[in-house]
Structure formats: structure tokens, C-alpha cells
Structure 1
Amino acid sequence: MSPAAVTAVVLAYIALLFLIAWLSGRHADNAGFFTGNRRSSWFVTALSMITAAMSGVTYLSVPGSVAADSFSYMQMVLGFTVGQLVVAFLLVPLFYRMRVISLYQYLDHRFGVTAQRTGAWFFFLSKMLGAALRLYIVCAVMQLLVFDRVGLPFAANAVVTVLFVWLYTRRGGVKSLIWTDAFKTLCLVASLVLTILALVRGLGLTTGEALREVAASEYARIFFFDDPSSERYFWKMFVAGIVLLVAMTGLDQEMMQRNLSCRTPRDAQKNIVLTALCQIAVILLFLTLGALLYLYMARVGMPLPPKSDQVFSQVAVNGGLPLYVGLLFVLGMMASTYSSAGSSLTALTTSFTVDLLDATRRCDEAQLTRTRRRVHALMALGLTLLVLLFGRFGNDSVINLFFKVAGYTYGPILGMFLFGICTRRRIDGRWLPLVAVAAPLLSALLQYAAGELFGYRIGFELLLYNALLTMGGMWLLGRKKRIQS
């Protein structure tokens, strides 16, 4: 696949993206940027949520993980589904009732401005690292496909990628994202389905025969109940899925910014339930694709790449399949990447402007617009620098690294919200930042000690331990006076 073909697909995709962004966001004001003026269609929002939840990490890493983990990821997806219901019927009514722009305004209402800023800073760290990791893995693939072949360095790759994201989200924010991400979802699902069909033909099978071969293979095992110390143990992954979804969707400004753009709480709930059902189907497509990739490589005698993240790209580009498969791979990768990066950049801008600068209360409309645009540019610069940093030093499996980062940084956020929702206790907020920093450090120590002393491997459920430690610290900060009913 030539660099010219890849570049043509990327430029055509970006041109359509900019057209949709311009049409949907050309009259957007600050309210349109932050909340979509709360007029988004629930059905279109649900479509936009699918690519936002998947990201480029999912697109590249989940198919490659099938060799080591089979279909065990579906155990976590089942937990995600339960978590979506918690978000829809517990958190959505709360946030709509308070009319929040940023979720962390709830922490201000409950515990004071120090709590709001603590939550916002942890979100800032989480989202910056997560968004940069997602961008990095796709930039690494584009470096191999295009930039290395034309003699351009990784730095140029990173700058160009973030520049496009900054440009198409600069004006419309959430108002544009809802429509551009719905378009990206269609591109992502189409690329998955058509690639699966191409692999089936490449194997010389009918669709039914291919599905039966996948089901009979070693890759298709979903449930793991035999070893409680394993990271793939069902109850660990199921509970971790619930907690991760609540923390990384329900308490994440990026994801909830879309849900809160719907007209009513009822519309937001319909959107979330539909998203949960679609997520099950799309993840199954990813895992089926992964099994077919490994079956195809075994059939044609292709060597396995050094990293599982590279399996999809290796087969799509160098696997002897028709040219359009490689172009579909690029299209799906771009769809997932630009979705997660665009929404992350918008959410970071919103939280920094609202929570940390308090600009919505201190500035008039014109000043708020100037502040928002400056913050938006600053966040884009920060993402670029982090992508370059990961490009220089990144050497871990990206999906595991992403969840490790989330397990440490989302834990204090989850703990603060759970403490606020599940108790009626006030706290001395001056010491809350210390608790929020101590909890991840203690959870890291707990993870190490459990492995060294007892041979128990704490996996994705680390987030829950982190949140519980945060809640314990907040209880110690509690005051005798309680909130009135």
C-alpha cells in the first residue's frame, strides 16, 4: 500500500470531517461549545458515543489481545453494560438536576471549591495521559505507513495529527462533535464489517464456516472461573468493568459532556442504554476480527509481529489481501483516533476553563470566548508534547498502560463522587488534595505487596481499591456536622 493511497484516504476523510464540523458548528456560542445548547438528538448522540468509547487503542489493541486473552474482554464488557445502567439512572438525573457544565461542579456543591479543583486536576492528568496514549499508538502506525516512507520525522506526524484535531473542534466543540462522531461511527463499523468479510474470503470460507471455525478455535473462550488470582478471572473483570465504566464514563467530563447535551434526562438515558447495546455488538466484532486475523496468519504462514498491537496493521497492509482492506484499516483507525482525540480536547478545554479558571463566573461572553480559545490551543500543545514523549520512551502494551494510568488517576475521582453520593458527611476540604494523592500511592503499594507476598495479581480492579482508599481518607477528614436532608 503506497503512501499516496494512504494520504488520499486520510485527506478525503479529513475533508468530510471538516465539512460536517463546519455545518454543525458554524453558529456555536460558548454554550454550544460546552453543552451543545442541550439540544442534541439522543439517537445521534448514541451513535457518537460508540467511537468515543472505542478509541484508536481499542481498534488496534483489542484484536491483537485475542491470542493471549481469548474473548475474555467480553467479561469486562458485561460489566460495562451494568455500569451504563448505573450512569443512566443514578448520575444522569443528578447532573441534569444541578444543570452542571462541568461534572466537577458537583464536588464544589458537595465539598467546596478545593474538592472541585482536586477532581478537575485529576481529570486533567487522566485525560491528558489517556488522550496522548491513544494518539501515540495511531501516530506510530501512520509513521510506518506514510511518514517514514517520505522521510518525515515522528515530530511532524504528531504535530500534523493534533493540528487537524484542534482545527475541527476549535469552533463548535460539543455541538460539532455529536455529528462528526456519528459519522466516525459509521466509518468505524463499516471498516470492521468489510475487513471481516475480506478475511473470510481470504480464508476461502463462507461466512457461516468462518464463524464456526472461530467458535471452535482456542480464541473463542469468554468465561474464566478457574483461577481467582488470574487477571482474567470472571468476577474480577466483571466488577472492574462496572467500576471502570462508572469512573471513565459517568464521572468523565469527556463522555458525559455528550450525554448532558441531550434535551432531557430521559433522552440522555435512552442514548446511554442504546450505546450499551451497541457496544456489546461492536466489541464482539473486534474480537471476531482478532480471531480471524490469527487464523489467517496461521493459514498463510505469516510470522507474528513483535507486539500484538501490530497484528491488525500487519495483516491489513502486508497480508496479501486486496488493497481496499489496507485502506479500510486506515479509515477505521482515523475514525477512532479523531473521535477520542477531538472529544478529549473539548473536555479538557471545558474542565480547565470552568473548574480551574472559573471563567464562566468571572468573565462576560466575549472574555469567555477568548479564554476558551486560548485554553483550547494550550491543551492541543500539551497533547502534542505528550505524544512526542510517548514516542520517545513508550515501550509497554498500550491498552494495558492506558488502563494502568486510568486505574491510578480515576480512582480519587470515583472515590470523591461515591463518598458524596453514598454518605451525607461533610469533610475538611483543605486536606483533600493530600488524600487524593496518597490513595494512588497506597494502591500501588497494595498491588505490589499482593503480588510479592501472596501471589495475587491485582488487575483492572485496582481502580476500586484506589477509590475505597480515597473514601477512607475522606471519612477521616469528616466533620461531625452532617448535611441536612
Structure 2
Amino acid sequence: MTPTIILGVIIAYFLLLIGISYLTGKNADNDQFFLAGRKSNWLVVAFGMIGASLSGVTFISVPGTVGAGGANQAFSYMQVVFGYLLGYAVIALVLMPLYYRMQLTSIYTYLEERLGLSAYKTGAAYFLLSRILGASFRLYLVAIVLQNFVLGPMGIPFWATVAATILLIWVYTFRGGINTIIWTDTLQTLSMLVAVVITIFSIGSALETDIGGMIDYVQNSEYSQIFFFEGGWSDPNNFFKQFIGGALITIVMTGLDQDMMQKNLSCPTIRDAQKNMFTFSAVLVFANFLFLSLGALLYIYAANVGLSIPAQSDELYPMIALQHLSPMVGIVFIIGLIAAAYSSADSALTALTTSFCVDFLDFEKSDVSEEEKKKTRFRVHIGFSVLLFIVILIFNLINDRAVISQLLKVAGYTYGPLLGLFAFGMLTDLKVNNRWVIPICIAAPILTYLLDLFSASIFYGFQFGYLNLAVNGLLTFVGLLTISYHVPKTEED
């Protein structure tokens, strides 16, 4: 597995993506870029969304957490995944009908109609912040692997690796947008799952066993426990915390996220979108179980051959795939990692462009010609590409996983106000004083952070974990209640 071979595989892979982009992006207008003309095949969307949901972080981090101890140890992450199923049902049966009824391009325009301009802009701004940090981190992980194993040994500096990483996304998304991404995501999901399956079979071969033997290995290992009830509320793997947290994460990070919902809104009808969501959620359970099984086998393999476990658990899969298994596994690992990261990052770049154009440049209300809007969209697309480049370089300058994890945790807090805003809009018929919406939506994440910071001492060892999202949303909801008022029926009429 020389750097030259890996680079050749990467180039071939991206030529395929660019070919798909050429076919799907020809003569694409703004409607094609934003929502694919609302003509997407629901089954293609469902399969492609698997890759976007898993991301590069899942690809290398979830297998590593299986044997690392602490949060998400063993198969406890499946408790979160089971919570996802509840969340996806809420999205399909509650949120999607609302979005389709209003014929939304950006889901945050709902907030303007229901709660006013400040709520609308606040929701969209929180999405932009969350996605910029999240997409940058996913690409940062890919850039590090490429730098360490491919481009670095060739003498190429890290900034050039990052620039090339983002440029490739821009090249195959700037024409077709979501119309292209729906198809490239399908290829990338397939690449990711094939990489995991080939790695599993390669480990089985190295351990001189078949599928049945690998199942026995996993079942009889210390890593096979799924449900955790005995640890109480202070246990980060407690079933109820992870299940409820998983449901809330899904509702907010999929149902209230422009990136994920943009693909669903590209389906022609609400029925197609719902079929897409239910199919996608079922396949996602299988995919996550596959990743956790891979994680258990990686630790079993390392123990059998006497490998030292890396200090950073997310380095285990790259180390074994690239240095201890066959060259074929190394090749499919690189493709799978790139596919995993790019399937979420490319759609994030398109969603950022869409949200900014619709929510802040008012594309849907503007009288400017379509050609001028297309030029503006082109410039916005470039602008967000440059911004991602800068944020990734900042991550690299920090060069401290703990600090970066805190930054991502902050980004996670920004979904809480979205949960509170949408919940308030859908569960009440109250209006709000727009002047106080922004202060409340800033205060809620800060208070949540402080509660989380001191929760163990205040609540006798209890830690919120995934329930931070619920606390954040609740604080936002309560804050909005304090600035709310009833509108007389005569005024509504």
C-alpha cells in the first residue's frame, strides 16, 4: 500500500464522482440545485442518506469506541440507534407533512411564518454554525488520514491536502447541487458498506474462521453487551438516557436540519418521502450493527496477533486496515473513509449554500433574474468552500482532540434552540415578542453547558449525556413562553 497506489485509487474514485456530476448537473437551474426539481426517486434517496447519516466520524470512531470503555462501550451505541427509530417516525409522521404542506425549500421559513423574522433568522444561523463546524471536523479527519498515509510522505503540506479535499467537493457539486448529491451519495454509501464488509471478511480470514465463527467470537467476547440498565442515571451508557437522547438527536439533527431534510424534500410527494424515511431508518439499524460488529472484531484481531491498541481509539481501524491486512483492504478502507466523509460533507456544502441563499439572501422573495441568482449561488458556494478550508486549518493549529471535541460539543448545543423553536411553534398557538427571541436562544445553550458542567455535583452523580439536547430545548421553550402572548381570534381572522 504505497502512497502512489492509494493516490491513484483516490483519483480514479473522484473521476467517477465528477462523471456522475457531469451527467446530473447539465443545464441545472436553481430549482435543480436546491431540490432536484422535486423529482427524486425515494429509494435512491433512502439508500444515499445512509452514508450522509453515518459520516467519516462514524466510519472510524464508532468501531473504535466498542473496546475503549466509557460512553458507547461495547454495543451500547445500539441503544442510541433504537432511539433513532422513534425519532425517524416522528419526522415522517409529524414534520414531513408540515414541510410538504408548506412547500418549503428551506425548512426554517416555517419559523418566519409561525414566530416571526427573528426566530427564522436565529434558526437558520444556528444551522449554519452547526454545519460549518460539523462538516469541517469530518473533512479534518479525512485530511489527517490522507496527509499521514498518502500526501504527507510525498512532501505535500497539510494546507494543500485540505485545499485539494475541498476543491474536489466543489468540483462535483457546484453545477447540480442536491440533484448530483443524491446520486453520488448512493455510490458513496455503497463504497462505505463494501469497505466494512470486506474488512470483516478479511479479519475472519486472518483469524481462520467463517461467518459463524466470527459471530461466536463477538457473542462470547466482552464487547457484545447491548443493553445497560444496571448502572443507573450516572452511567453514560444507561439505556433510557441513550434511547431518549437518540430519538431527540434524530428529530433535531435530521428533522430540523436543512442538510438532511433537503434530500427528503426533493421527493415528488409526501408518500414517497415517508417511504424513503422508513426504509432508510431500517437500513441504518443494520448498518450501525455492522460497524459495531467490525469494532468488536478489530479488538479481537488485535488481541490475537498481539497488537498494541492506539491511545486514540479512532486510529485502530486505519492502523489495522492500512498496515496489517491485505492491500485490497487498505484500498477499500481509503475509498470507504473518503466516501463516508464526503457523503456528509458534500451535502453539507450544498445545504449551507441553500440556506444562506434562501434564508439570508431571500432568493424566494427576490425579483432578481434566475441568471443573476445562479451567479450569486455560485459565489456563495465558493465562499462556504473557503470558510470550510479556514476552519479545518484552525482545527489543525489547535491540534488538541479534547479542545476540538469541546468545539463540536458547542456545535451540538446549537441544535437545542432549534428544538425549542420548532416545538414551541408546533405545540402552541402563541406568538412571541421578537425582540427577545435571540437573547433567549443564546442564553439556553449557555445555561445548558453550565448545568452539564456541574451536573455531577448538583445532581448527586447524574450526568445529562445525550439528554443535553432535551434540556437545551426545554430551556428555549420555557424562555419563549415568558415572552409569548395570545392573539385574539378577531386579529387572526
Q: Is the 8 A contact 2:204 2:210 kept in 1?
A: yes
1:19 aligns with 2:19: yes
Deviation at 1:480, TM superposition (A): 3.0
TM-score relative to the length of structure 2: 0.96
Query: What's the CA shift string for 1:219-272, capped at 9, x where partnerless?
Result: 111100012211110000000000000000000000000000001000000000
Q: Distance in 2 between matches of 1:329 and 1:239?
A: 33
Q: Distance in 2 between matches of 1:450 and 1:391?
A: 31
The structure 2 residue matched to 1:207, chosen from 207, 211, 218, is 211
Amino acid at match of 2:314: D
1:66 aligns with 2:66: yes
Query: What's the CA shift string for 1:441-466, capped at 9, x where partnerless?
Result: 00011112212332222211101100
Where does residue 483 of structure 2 map in the other structure? 477
**Pairwise CA RMSD of aligned residues?**
1.4
Q: Distance in 2 between matches of 1:394 and 1:417?
A: 36
Cα 1:438–1:104 shift into 2, 3 Å = same
Deviation at 1:106, TM superposition (A): 0.2
Q: Is the 8 A contact 1:25 1:175 kept in 2?
A: yes
Which piece of structure 1 moves more, 281-290 or 474-483? 474-483
Where does residue 277 of structure 1 map in the other structure? 282
The structure 2 residue matched to 1:349, chosen from 350, 353, 370, is 353
Deviation at 1:112, TM superposition (A): 1.3
Deviation at 1:429, TM superposition (A): 1.2
Where does residue 184 of structure 2 map in the other structure? 180
Where does residue 122 of structure 1 map in the other structure? 126
Query: What's the CA shift string for 1:268-312, capped at 9, x where partnerless?
Result: 000000000000000011000000101111111111112001000
Deviation at 1:19, TM superposition (A): 0.5
Q: Distance in 2 between matches of 1:237 and 1:472?
A: 24
The structure 2 residue matched to 1:323, chosen from 327, 331, 338, is 327
Cα 1:163–1:398 shift into 2, 3 Å = farther
The structure 1 residue matched to 2:255, chosen from 246, 250, 257, is 250
Deviation at 1:405, TM superposition (A): 3.3
Q: Distance in 1 between matches of 2:330 and 2:407?
A: 26
Q: Is the 8 A contact 2:448 2:471 kept in 1?
A: yes
Query: What's the CA shift string for 1:60-119, capped at 9, x where partnerless?
Result: 100000012111100000000110111011011100000011010000110112111110
The structure 2 residue matched to 1:148, chosen from 145, 152, 157, is 152
1:396 aligns with 2:401: yes
Q: Distance in 2 between matches of 1:77 and 1:395?
A: 29
Where does residue 3 of structure 1 map in the other structure? 3
Q: Is the 8 A contact 1:404 1:460 kept in 2?
A: no
Deviation at 1:396, TM superposition (A): 2.5
Query: What's the CA shift string for 1:8-44, capped at 9, x where partnerless?
Result: 1111110101111111121211000011100000000
Q: Distance in 2 between matches of 1:236 and 1:215?
A: 25
Cα 1:120–1:80 shift into 2, 3 Å = same
Cα 1:338–1:365 shift into 2, 3 Å = same
The structure 2 residue matched to 1:235, chosen from 229, 234, 240, is 240
Matches within 5 A, 1:17-416: 17-67=17-67, 68=69, 69-227=73-231, 228-319=233-324, 321-362=325-366, 363-396=368-401, 404-416=409-421
Q: Is the 8 A contact 1:61 1:399 kept in 2?
A: no
Q: Is the 8 A contact 1:170 1:373 kept in 2?
A: yes
Report the 3-state secondary structure (helix = DSSP H, G, I; strand = E; otherwise coil) of the residue aligned with 2:465: coil
1:435 aligns with 2:440: yes
Which piece of structure 1 moves more, 451-460 or 174-183? 451-460
Q: Which runs of 5+ in 2 are unaligned?
A: none
Amino acid at match of 2:441: A
Cα 1:55–1:357 shift into 2, 3 Å = same
Query: What's the CA shift string for 1:327-360, capped at 9, x where partnerless?
Result: 1110100111111110000000000111012133
Which piece of structure 1 moves more, 361-370 or 192-201? 361-370
Where does residue 472 of structure 2 map in the other structure? 466
Amino acid at match of 1:135: L
